[in-house]
Amino acid sequence: MGHNPEDAVSYWNRCGCYYGAKSHTVRKWMLDSNNYRLEYGLGNYSRGAKSKERYKKSRKPKNGKLLKSC
């Protein structure tokens, strides 16, 4: 299984890092079955390995405001 349309690292770096790892918002996103798709073979592994994106540390948003897309 893999995240779709946005992978977990991208979601975390865009929104999740502002809420914290165990926040209600992040857990809700992780548990939403609409964020997953069944993938056969090694597609999910290879896509993750090729990605240069890495998890960022939790932080507060600049100016105290989250992006509208979050």
Average pLDDT, the chain: 86
**Per-residue pLDDT, 11:** 94
Would the pTM count as exceeding 0.85?
no
Neighbours of 10 (CB within 10 A): 14
User: Residues 13-40: pLDDT tens digits?
Assistant: 999 999 998 999 999 999 999 999 888 7
32 half-sphere exposure, CB direction, 13 A CA radius: 14
**Per-residue pLDDT, 63:** 79
Distance of CA 65 to the CA centre of its chain: 19
